[in-house]
Amino acid sequence: MKKLFVISGPSGAGIGELITALFQRRGDLGTAIPVTARKMKAGEENGVGFFFYDLEGWEALKASGDLLETTEFAGNDYGTSRAQVEKVLAEGKHVLLNLSVDRAAQVKRNMPRAVCVYVEPSPQVLRERYAAISRSGVELSVRLETAERQRALSDFCDYRVCSDDPETALKALEEILDRE
């Protein structure tokens, strides 16, 4: 049985690279195209990158219960459609989403069978990664505090994976996919 897997963690955890590697190694993965109520930009196409809705359509989508999670960014609404997830699952593929921990928690509430994985490096490695990209001590502190807040919200996750070593983390994620 194919499942929805939601990967979350702090910035600097290497999640994007891990997900790219998973898609390169496995043919049994798909993703759900996100939905949004923002206006289409020049060159964008509905169903490629996003499914676009006007505000009336967005409200109808919310009212229908189709949205597994939503967020607002820069005055625009975004989310994940249950119908999109179910479509990929029906195609015989696991669905793999990379979402912030608060959005992952919404998915878990709305689709309890979803498997949530929290990926993060050890505190020492995270500090090193943030120190390498922070422009000031204040920025470093903000990044570390944000990561700690995210970790504190991640108790609902079914698994935790340490991303200090990308290859070890990748193997752990593959084991979770195979086990579930």
- Which residue carries 């409200």 as its tokens? 59
Q: 173 vs 1, 81, 128, CA distance in Å?
A: 17, 24, 23
Model pLDDT for residues 132-173, shown as the tens digit of each residue = 999 999 999 999 999 999 999 999 999 999 999 999 999 999
What is the rounded CA–CA span in Å between residue 160 and residue 120? 8
Residue 32 is encoded by which pair of tokens? Answer: 């759900």
Which stretches of the chain drop beneath a pLDDT of 50?
Answer: none
> Which pLDDT belongs to residue 1?
86
Q: 36 vs 49, 59, 67, 71, 171, CA distance in Å?
A: 10, 11, 11, 10, 33
Portion of the chain with pLDDT greater than 70, in percent: 100
Q: Is 4 helix (H, G, I), strand (E, B) or coil?
A: strand
Q: What sign results for the dihedral spanned by CA atoms 74, 116, 9, 154?
A: positive
What is the rounded CA–CA span in Å between residue 86 and residue 93? 10
3-state secondary structure 50-112: EEECCHHHHHHHHHHCCEEEEEEECCEEEEEEHHHHHHHHHCCCEEEEECCHHHHHHHHHHCC
CATH superfamily of 4-179: P-loop containing nucleotide triphosphate hydrolases (3.40.50.300)
- Which residue carries 């090193």 as its tokens? 128
Q: 37 vs 41, 61, 75, CA distance in Å?
A: 12, 10, 10
